[in-house]
Amino acid sequence: MSCCSRHASGGGGKHRGGMKTMLFGMLVGLVLGLMFAPKPGPETLNTISDKIIRKLPV
């Protein structure tokens, strides 16, 4: 299993900046989701924020 032995030896630095890459991917996904949503962007954001506000235990 060369895969496991490669991870044990450090992996060659292949996964550097993984958190930045993940956050960038999430941001791109959010933007694309808002762009291609069935409703216009501001209306979609209002709907999402209304649902979040209703779930708050205040």
* Tens digits of residue pLDDT in 11-58: 555 566 789 999 999 999 988 887 777 777 788 788 888 888 787 776
**Which residue has better confidence, 3 or 29?**
29
34 CB neighbour count, 10 Å cutoff: 15
Maximum distance among all alpha carbons in the chain? Answer: 53
